Structure 1
Amino acid sequence: MSLSNNLKPTSNTMATFYPISTNENSNDFNWDIVTNLFLSELYGLLAERKINKFENELKQFHQKFEENFKRDVPDSSAWDVINEVYFLRNNISKISPKLRIFSLSDEAQNLSTEKRIVSLLKTLFKKDHIYINDVDNLNFIEQKIYELFEIVFPSKLPDHQSLHSYLPNLSNIFSADLIFLTSNSKYFLENIQLFLELYIFLYTAQLSIVINGWKEADEPNIKECYFILDTERASRERASLQRSGYKLVEKSLDSIFPILALTESLQSNAEQKLPLWKLITTLSEHDVKPLKQYCQDFALDRNLKSVEKESPDLTDVLDELQRLYKAQFAKGETRSSRNANIVRTIKNMILKPFTQSRGSAGIVFVLTQEYLLLLTNLVIGQSEKLRLYEVIKGLELRGIFFDKESRKALVNFYERLGNVEKMSDSGDAIYVKKTI
């Protein structure tokens, strides 16, 4: 990997690493459509097809199933009932994750934000892995629909674009979670949207925390980010929540776009772009001269003042580029509204389901019971139960941290749910069981 051989100021984009656009009006998106698109990609259904062509193939499947059903059950009124219940009311999409394709309408072709979100989610796909779509406990009709669909549309390898996640540690954990979920198809079908919302949120929170640490030139570790349960009270005295919670994430939200735009601009001619923390490990002092020139050209193009050291090294010139990329969005600059739009969208669309205002404590990150239950099952995974401290460690690997007060609330939550075992009267050995 090397720098673009034609470094020059262009329009800002961060589409490779984050899906939000500078145009606020184009950032509204529908999680149902995101989920349907994601599942279609997961099972390789759209690998060689466009959505409008696939709609025709689904109509043909509908006709084929009707023919098969009428051949087995000659009573025409029976087909009318089945057609109404499964096809006209779209209950077919509730049979298995793969059959959610029936909820993917033709309008999804023109929804750029949803497609950008799915592109980011595709970094979860494991290379050379075909995902399971097995479903148990279907009734006779559902089993027939399921079996025919598997014959007509067998699962294929998803389109793995070898995209580089900016946060590979987090993505790898959730990639393993995705494999676990697809091995429990009914649970997966019921919780897939929660799973995707959760991952995009945690990706965003961790990205904001580490975005300014690119000079470490190392894969970012999961950073402390503190939450409370929705049943808890919050106070200003809870130091971890105040120091390393919502306020920590909010502080650097306005750095995401400038730094990711810089990252893309340095690799404008590369098919596979590297995160900035990884890109700098491929650069050398030979790159200082073109980067210095890029600084001057960029400052001139944006009407900014470039400040250079006498004999800058690679870090110095990249520091200056970072400063310029941020300066173009400063208050009073013509581009200031673009970064403001991105920050506003992140807060309103990505973070909002996980935030609450709690009096003097201000805005804090909150986990509702449905997200917590999903996370607990993901952490326990293939095991039947784990010690409480192992569950807490698993949550931290996914970017969820609790202080002492929240850990007590966590135990109370599990006890109310009835999925704990105490192996001693003192409560020293508490096991948490999954609920799948």
Structure 2
Amino acid sequence: MYLKADLKPSSNSMASFYPISTNENSNDFEWDLVTNLFLSELYGLTAEKKINKLRENLDQFYKDLEQQFKADFLDEKAWEMINNIYFRENNIAKISPKLRIFSLTDESQGLSAEKRIVALLKTLLKNEFIYTNDVTNLNFIEQKIYEKFESVFQSQYPNYDGLITYLPKLSSIFSKDLIFLTNHSKYFLENIQLFLELYTFLYTAQLSIIINGWKEASEPDIKDCYFILDTEKASRERASLQRSGYKLVEKNLDSIFPTLALCESLESSKGHKYPLWKIVTLLEEDDLPNLESYFDAFIENRNLKINRNKFNTVHSACEALHQAYKAQFAKGETRASRNSNIVRTIKNIILKPFIQTRGSAGTVFVLTQEYLLLLTNLVIGERDKLRLYEVIKEFELRGIFFDKESRKALVSFYERLGNVEKMSDSGDAIYVKKTI
């Protein structure tokens, strides 16, 4: 059997699947700290319980480097200058992505909100893959620091915790984009925070759209989610933007916590943790009595007035449990504020950089130029250029859709940027070039 042997009602948690807490005061985090922690995990430099040990190793690295430079340079003031520039001013973190590890402090051990964000992003990493950290065009001092660091802190596989991503298709694209970025280390350093903000948002938007589709019992596809550029005007008449934009995501935000909490409650403590759409494929008819007794105990524990008929299948039992998990957060219930806290936090932190209110069109998803430029380089990847319609298709693989008006604005943006190439006077063959 896949399920826990004895399912019992307990406190609601979705910690294994999504990083927002029901306690709003524990959701404040800084993206800069998320980036530092993510990079340390990406290169396998540390696990959550080893940050203090890592600091000891970094301190030893610093002492060895000091001895090396003092031996290499006759001028006693040389090391003092190097120390001031690269360590006291933390410019060492600008040499390579891995060297951002020097931005971690002893206080990083207690960054619970940042660690939860990183735990989510780790589910999108490519398994059994070591990410590159090659950098070029370093000066003499930087090259020696880089080589010394690489010899001591070799890249390892990221540490995985047995969690299966809820969105495998988006995870695959994230991994592809991340590999491209790590192959261009300087660009990666400049844009890693934007990249993490973008994918945390895309993950959240797609999760909200598909969260109630678990009964299909199959890996979810990337769903339509429409954006405009920040230079555009929006109107109520733009049907796709109204039907399949911000409002579509907002509609299902309150389903994220109850669905993931149900998922967490069903998980066996052994092996992988699976999404609900996967769990229903693992259940057997022998699990039905366990699900039935769990449902009865749950509605009694939560004082829910829900009538139930006898369940004929595990799917019908799961559907009833899903409704019960939602019902405990309904308006007027004692737990209602906990789910509303999560929805409010998602809007105010994760979605906020990507939403604007535009007159009669209401709230819409907007891509600013910095995110659009990063996305353009990601979708073109190692190629020199890509046809416009292929660029748009690649955007859609990442959950970003544009209507006809936005596609026109996109061409105008690229023309202003100067990275388009028209192969015919009619404009039928427009190529977009990357900027790195």
Scaled to the shorter chain, the TM-score interval is over 0.9
Q: Matches of 2:278 and 2:316 in 1, distance apart? A: 17
1:190 CA displacement: 0.6
2: CA distance between counterparts of 1:384 and 1:332?
A: 57
| Deviations 1:92-145 (CA, angstroms, capped at 9, x unpaired) | 000000000000111111111111111111122222211110101111111111
| 1:252 correspondence with 2:258 | no
Q: Which moved more, 1:233-242 or 1:110-119?
A: 110-119
Q: Deviation digits for residues 266-294 of structure 1, max 9, x if unmatched?
A: 11424411110011011132222221111
What corresponds to 2:206 in structure 1? 206
Distance in 2 (CA, whole Å) between partners of 1:222 and 1:35 is: 26
Structure-1-length-normalised TM-score? 0.98
1:24-423 pair list within 5 angstroms: 24-47=24-47, 50-423=50-423
State the secondary structure of the residue aligned to 1:286: helix
CA displacement at 1:407 relative to structure 2: 0.2
SS of the equivalent of 2:306 reads coil
Question: Partners of 1:126 and 1:100 in 2: how far apart?
Answer: 21
1:264 and 1:160 map into 2 onto residues whose CA distance is: 18
Give the distance between the partners of 1:223 and 1:15, measured in 2 at CA: 24
Distance 1:119 1:31 in 2: 14
Q: For 1:435, give the aligned amino acid.
A: T
Q: Where do 5+ consecutive residues of structure 1 fail to align?
A: none
Q: After superposition, what is the alpha-carbon deviation per residue over 1:233-274, rounded to whole angstroms, capped at 9, x for unaligned?
A: 011010000000000000000000000000111114244111
Larger deviation, residues 53-62 vs 3-12: 53-62
AA of the residue aligned to 1:337:
S
How far has the Cα of 1:53 moved from its partner? 1.8
Q: What's the RMSD between the two structures over aligned residues?
A: 1.2
TM-score (norm 2): 0.98
In the alignment, the residues of structure 1 paired with residue 297 and residue 356 of structure 2 have an alpha-carbon distance, to the nearest angstrom, of 44
Determine helix, strand or coil for the equivalent of 1:199: helix
Gap regions ≥5 residues in structure 2: none
Q: Secondary structure at the match of 2:211?
A: helix
Matched, 1:2 2:5: no
SS at match of 1:249: helix
CA distance in 2, matches of 1:20, 1:230: 28
Instruction: Give 1:124's aligned amino acid.
Output: L
Identity between Structure 1 and Structure 2 (%)? 72
**Change beyond 3 A, Cα 1:80–1:210:** same
> Which has the higher mean CA deviation after the structures are superposed, 384-393 or 106-115?
106-115
Partner Cα distance (2:72, 2:263) in 1: 60
Contact 1:21-1:27 at 8 Å conserved across structures: yes
What secondary structure does 1:222 align onto? Answer: coil
Secondary structure in structure 2 of the residue aligned to 1:375: helix
Q: How many residue pairs were aligned?
A: 436
Q: Distance in 1 between matches of 2:49 and 2:94?
A: 23
Q: Which amino acid aligns with 2:267?
A: Q
Q: 1:307 to 1:277 in 2, by over 3 A?
A: same
| CA contact 2:292–2:311 (8 Å) conserved in 1 | no
Q: For the structure 1 residues 63 and 189, does the alpha-carbon distance in structure 2 shift closer, same or farther, using more than 3 Å as the test?
A: same
What is the distance in 1 between the residues matched to 2:165 and 2:311?
34
Shift of 1:49: 6.8
- 2-structure distance, mates of 1:328, 1:145: 56
Structure 2 CA distance for aligned equivalents of residues 123 and 288 of structure 1:
30
- Cα separation, 2, equivalents of 1:92 and 1:45: 16
More displaced 10-residue stretch of structure 1: 347-356 or 53-62: 53-62
Whether the 8 Å contact between 1:329 and 1:337 is mirrored in structure 2 is yes
Deviation of 1:228 after TM superposition, in Å, equals 0.3
The one-letter code sitting in structure 1 at the alignment partner of 2:247 is K
Contact 1:307 1:320 in 2 (8 A): no
